[in-house]
Amino acid sequence: MAAVINKLEKRFDAFKDIFTINPILENSMRRYVLTSLAVIAISLVSTAQNKVVKKPVAPAVKTTGGYNIPITLTPYKNTWVYLGCYFGKYKNLSDSAFLNEKGQGVFKGKEKLPRGIYFTVSPQKYLLFEFLMDKEQNFSIKADTNNLANVTITGSADNQMFQEYTRFLAQKTPMLSALQKQLAEAKTARDSGVIKTTMTKANKELQDYRENFIKAHPSSMLANFFYGMKRPEIPAIPIGKNGKGDSTYPYRYVKENWWQGVAFDDESLVRTPFFEPKLEEYFKYYVAPDADSVISEVNYMLLVSRDSREMFKYLLGKFTDKYINPEYMGQEKVFLFLFDKYYSKGDTAWLNSKQTKFIFDRAYSLMANQLGEPAADLAMVDTSGKPVSLYGINAPYTFVTFWDPNCGHCKETVPRIDSIYRAKWKALGVKLVGVNVDEGANDAWKKFMNEHKLEGWAHIYQTKAARDAESKKGAANFRQLYDVYKTPTLYLLDSQKRIIGKMLSLEQFDDVLTAKMKTATSVK
């Protein structure tokens, strides 16, 4: 990891909070909604209701607005319990209620809560049980922590169906868990086969329950969730006239049916623990990583979710967070698409001025260093004060390293660059340009170069006077033009100084060079 985590990474952390509410429950808790009834320990970091203050229990009153959910939770009394919900991969605090001496309390608010899967959290910060937050939000809960498999919810048809399903799971889960353990301990192939057959049968019973439920209650909240959980079952591969099967058929079938039945305008999916994993799995396995393929998928999802403000905000935030600092080279183009399509047109009114400025600044910084585009010139000086221009360096390939002599990761990476240069790149005609990003550390910079014999490089830096003049004119500086917010930052340029590599490891840069050289040789 880079030793110097500069301003950008801190801004990334702040950026995440724009779109995802900070978790009040540890994200390490296993997701088990609709699959397990275990009570799992979690940590509650919000201290808003830690102080015990007795308050009267409001009566259960039917209201047209807001929510009113009386709860009786034994054996707790004279203590606080909490109402939480899922939000993507996070778990958030929604409300709290004080239980009186009879263990009675009320979750109550003037405005309705967003629909989704909610849960009750004990005073000891344990997630106790889950339930559905329906449209009406006027129902009562009665539960005994010694028998959480029999939670009683009255006044909500959606929750009654949900409770029936959880009781069905309570019967099946122990058997499936036991079979999984037996499979792991099986000694022979025959034993494994018998266990797998039994597991397949049991899993089919679960699947049949869900399928039958969807047919019987197609418009119910739980049916929508079953669709959201579902993974396509791959049918037999069809055999063509040539007697061979299409090896790409399973991939195409799963991709085409992945979102079958899932309504992207249903905001309740945002507040479930299974929608985000399904989304991530889809992009990981069924969407090609090139920017254009990703943009096509992202744009479609955002368009079909426009009628649901919560879903639209969630997806735009999710995609922005993912591609503003992408996993693969070139995917920042996805973020720039989002900026041009949505942010620059004012479709994000929920952001404050500081957040908006960050998005715009980040976009403008990335626009200047896209793959295939000419790199900005670097008009600086070398160690002797002699002017040097990037475009004055003639070479089939130029490797530019922005580094800080006081950066630990730079001290490790720069000698490695020099080693691969001497061993291979120099013979290929590659020229190295090393840019010191801190003119105040010139002595340490020169000392490091001499100690490691970094010869054959163009070592340059920007003087303070040049930087001040640039700032006075309002011109973009090299940090903005090359997105240098952490060090080292590396670029590979072709003979025309177009960017052909960025955000890669040294090994990956070497692979790019090798591929380019092979292509150039074959063309000749």
Mean predicted confidence (pLDDT) in 120-142: 95
Separation between Cα atoms, residue 470 and residue 379, nearest integer Å: 11
Give 176-208 pLDDT, tens digit per residue. 889 899 999 988 999 899 999 999 898 889 999
pLDDT over 50 (residue 455): yes
Separation between Cα atoms, residue 272 and residue 90, nearest integer Å: 10
CATH number, domain 373-523, options 3.40.50.720, 3.30.230.10, 3.40.30.10, 3.20.20.70: 3.40.30.10
Q: What single-letter amino acid sits at 125?
A: K
Encoded tokens for 102: 């009879």
Separation between Cα atoms, residue 163 and residue 149, nearest integer Å: 9
Among the listed ranges 150-154, 171-175, 216-220, 254-258, which one has the minimum average pLDDT value?
171-175
Among the listed ranges 32-41, 51-60, 280-289, which one has the minimum average pLDDT value?
32-41
Encoded tokens for 283: 């992009």
- H or E segment at 215? helix 189-216
Contact 494, 500 (CB under 8 A): yes
pLDDT over 90 (residue 507): yes
Mean predicted confidence (pLDDT) in 461-471: 92
Give 317-335 pLDDT, tens digit per residue. 999 999 998 888 999 999 9
| 144-147: long-range pairs with CB below 8 Å, 24+ | 144/73, 144/74, 144/75, 145/73, 145/74, 145/75, 145/76, 146/75
Among the listed ranges 340-349, 395-404, 415-424, which one has the minimum average pLDDT value?
340-349
Mean predicted confidence (pLDDT) in 222-230: 94
Fold adopted by 67-154: Immunoglobulin-like (2.60.40)
Q: What does 257-299 look like in DSSP terms, one character per residue?
A: HTTTT--TT-GGGGGSSSHHHHHHHHHHHSS-SSHHHHHHHHH
Separation between Cα atoms, residue 186 and residue 236, nearest integer Å: 29
Separation between Cα atoms, residue 215 and residue 249, nearest integer Å: 28
Encoded tokens for 191: 């034993």
Amino acid 55: pLDDT: 37
Amino acid 521: pLDDT: 65
Amino acid 82: pLDDT: 97
Mean predicted confidence (pLDDT) in 42-70: 50
pLDDT over 90 (residue 15): no
Mean predicted confidence (pLDDT) in 265-283: 95
For the chain, the domains span 1-36, 67-154, 164-229, 258-368, 373-523
315: left (phi over 0), alpha (psi -120 to 50) or beta: alpha
DSSP helix/strand/coil, 431: strand
Separation between Cα atoms, residue 482 and residue 329, nearest integer Å: 14
Spell out the residues 6+ positions from residue 89 whose beta carbon is closer than 8 angstroms to its own: 20, 27, 273, 276, 277
Contact 489, 402 (CB under 8 A): yes
pLDDT over 80 (residue 264): yes
pLDDT over 90 (residue 499): yes
Using CA atoms, how far residue 129 sits from 32, 151, 152, in Å, is 11, 8, 11
Amino acid 31: pLDDT: 30
Give 33-47 pLDDT, tens digit per residue. 333 322 222 333 333
pLDDT over 60 (residue 130): yes
Contact 407, 439 (CB under 8 A): no
pLDDT band at 9 (very low <50, low <70, confident <90, very high): very low
Using CA atoms, how far residue 299 sits from 156, 264, 268, 317, in Å, is 36, 12, 21, 13
Amino acid 448: pLDDT: 96
- H or E segment at 249? helix 249-257
Average pLDDT, the chain: 86
pLDDT band at 58 (very low <50, low <70, confident <90, very high): very low
Using CA atoms, how far residue 484 sits from 336, 459, 462, 502, in Å, is 17, 17, 14, 12
Separation between Cα atoms, residue 410 and residue 426, nearest integer Å: 21
- What share of the chain has pLDDT > 90, as a percent? 70
Spell out the residues 6+ positions from residue 47 whose beta carbon is closer than 8 angstroms to its own: none
What helix, strand, coil percent values describe the chain, rounded to 5?
45, 20, 35
Amino acid 64: pLDDT: 58
